[in-house]
Structure 1
Amino acid sequence: MIPLAANPEKRRYSFEQYITLLRNNDQRLEYDHGEIYAMAGSSANHAAISANMWRALDDALGEDATCRAYMVDRVVRLTPDVIVMPDVVVTCDRADQGDAFFLDSPSIVVEVLSKSTEARDRTYKLLRHQAKQSIQEIVLISQYVQHVEVITRTTSGWEYQEYGHEERFTLASLNATIRVSEIYRRLSIPIEKRTFMPLEIIEPADEQEDS
């Protein structure tokens, strides 16, 4: 992930300029207080993992579910000044469904980690997701080994769990259980353990969330 305008002046964009670029650009663009970040093109494994996760969520939701799972084409508005594009997102708010351009009330966000985005996904972006009151679960998926991390909102704060090959994880907000190997279906992804970047769950400071 790189700033769209990589220059010493660090050009800032208005929200309207961002929307214009987003509507006229095939590239995934995120917006953060005037800066636009162009998301690097995903690898074949990244795309396949995202699709497998979306399929697992869609199957878990069933035909009559009020919730919907979407892939990378949906834009999530965390605040008026912070717009992100998760790899997969679930919303149970009907206002977010159909032809809605923005998703304002996501319940689950999924990020497939890349070398260029992992540090930001685990720190700044994680805190932003935690501060969004509608988000109940944050899922981080490695594309290099079979490893899934789930951060869940509870009545006492945030709970962290990690899962490996052949284990199952539950998304409490949907009452859905998914097998890790299902996410890596038909992919030659190692199952060996690796040393992961430490993930310390920090309760985000209270932040006034704008509608």
Structure 2
Amino acid sequence: MSSIATKISVEEYLQQEAKAKFKSEYHGGKVVAMAGANFNHNILVSNIIGLLWQCMQKEDCFVLPSDMLLALPECDKFVYPDVTIVCEEAKFTEQRYGLDVLVNPNIIIEVLSDSTELYDRSDKFRCYKTLPSLKQYVLVASEEMLVESYERTEDNFWLLQSEEDAHKSIKIGKCDMLLSNIYRKVGFGTQNKKK
């Protein structure tokens, strides 16, 4: 027996999210529960945040983990990117219910999984592109060594740089990051888990 999901308003979502024990995203009236991430995913996010913090600590940038809620008004969505970077004054929607909702990310990084890859590459990227502040979108594979960076040009085109060699680096903001450092302690399959 299937059930029909009841649509709720943005106001109801924000009120509910401020009190929730678990994160959920808002997709055009539907509340979508966030699934837990696997070991590789969590190590990659941790490595990326650590590397970016080291590189950006002298700059006027904030490196934010996946608890930062982001508004995508053109798509009627609220989402939690894996890593968000703001290199200017952080701006938020009007705070309601004690919940900060960011509106001006400069860089967004998503770590791909089997269940999210198609969405991260298509619909989510399409929505991220509606944010005027966004300059770079980075996709990091969790089942192979591959980092893809899309950078916005002044003419509003998106240029792709892709790297899969552990000894080469990819630029995230002003930071040159070696893939071997991004993927440090990440194994593929079950080889990274101690027995």
Fold similarity call, TM over 0.5: yes
User: Pairwise mapping of residues 41-60 of structure 1 onto structure 2 (< 5 A)?
Assistant: 41-60=36-55
Quote how far apart the aligned CAs of 1:167 are: 1.6
Q: Of 65, 78, 81, which residue of structure 2 is paired with 1:71?
A: 65
CA deviation digits over 1:26-48, x for unaligned, max 9? 32211121111112111111111
Identity of aligned residues (%): 28
Residue number in structure 2 paired with 1:106: 105
- Structure 2's unaligned 5+ residue stretches are 93-97, 190-195
Quote how far apart the aligned CAs of 1:8 are: 4.1
Quote how far apart the aligned CAs of 1:7 are: 5.0
- Per the normalisation by structure 2, the TM-score is 0.85
Residue number in structure 2 paired with 1:185: 184
What is the alpha-carbon distance in structure 1 between the residues aligned to residue 83 and residue 49 of structure 2? 6
Q: Structure 1's 96 and 59: CA in aligned 2 closer, same or farther, altered over 3 A?
A: farther
Residue number in structure 1 paired with 2:22: 27
Quote how far apart the aligned CAs of 1:133 are: 0.9
What is the alpha-carbon distance in structure 2 between the residues aligned to residue 160 and residue 19 of structure 1? 35
1:118 to 2:113 alignment? no
- Per the normalisation by structure 1, the TM-score is 0.79
Residue number in structure 2 paired with 1:12: 7
Quote how far apart the aligned CAs of 1:78 are: 1.9
1:89 to 2:90 alignment? no
Other structure's SS at 2:7 match: coil
Amino acid at match of 2:44: I
Other structure's SS at 1:106 match: coil
Other structure's SS at 1:42 match: coil
Other structure's SS at 1:94 match: coil
What is the alpha-carbon distance in structure 1 between the residues aligned to residue 59 and residue 132 of structure 2? 21
Quote how far apart the aligned CAs of 1:100 are: 7.2
Other structure's SS at 1:187 match: coil
Quote how far apart the aligned CAs of 1:67 are: 1.0
The CA RMSD over aligned residues, in Å, is 2.1
Amino acid at match of 1:89: T
Other structure's SS at 1:51 match: helix
What is the alpha-carbon distance in structure 2 between the residues aligned to residue 184 and residue 13 of structure 1? 40
The answer (yes or no) to whether the contact 2:25–2:78 under 8 Å persists in 1 is yes
CA deviation digits over 1:126-172, x for unaligned, max 9? 1111121111000111110111110110123110111112220113x
- Structure 1's unaligned 5+ residue stretches are 1-5, 191-211
The answer (yes or no) to whether the contact 2:14–2:99 under 8 Å persists in 1 is no
What is the alpha-carbon distance in structure 2 between the residues aligned to residue 77 and residue 114 of structure 1? 22
